[in-house]
Amino acid sequence: MRKRLGIVAVAVAALLVVAVGASLVSASSGLTSPKTLTFTAKQTQFHFLANNPTGNSVGDELAFTETLTKGGKHIGFDGVHCVVTGIKPTETECVGTISFTDGSKLAAQTLFHPKNGPQTIPLAITGGSGIYQNAGGFGTIKSTSQTTSTYTLHVIVP
């Protein structure tokens, strides 16, 4: 379960990385139509909490933090919290906040079925602050390793 949740964390992290890049791109242009952004997220902290009963169970949780980069440049970090919401099939819900170096924030969430190995996870952009006030959109997080992901986001800021 930890490995699966790690993959989930990577995917969510990737999503957050893309969101960070989006803030950098839209800061100067006042983005009003979907803009596709691609970035990298690298997990720096991780904690898994197994709730009773023993083994994979509804209520198990994980939390992690990632460093976000674009072209090798630090653009922010994220914090993500996930909870297992179903077993057979396993279903996990994650919510995360991306904090950009300019102080802007972007919120995202997903509900997916974790798998072993590389996975592409869909997500929804549900809001933000600063230059991302009232942001919306969608994207994907593609795990490239157990601790690294690539995010592709389609961000709309009215």
Domains and CATH numbers, the chain: 2-156 (2.40.480.10)
Q: Which pTM does this prediction carry?
A: 0.77
Question: pLDDT 10s digit of each residue in the chain, 158 long?
Answer: 555 444 444 444 434 433 444 444 444 445 566 777 788 999 999 999 998 877 889 999 999 999 999 999 999 999 999 999 999 889 999 999 989 899 988 899 999 999 888 899 999 999 989 888 899 999 999 999 989 999 888 889 88
- 42-74 burial, b at 16+ Cβ within 10 Å, e below that, comes to bbeebeeebeeeeebeeebebbbbbbbbbeeee
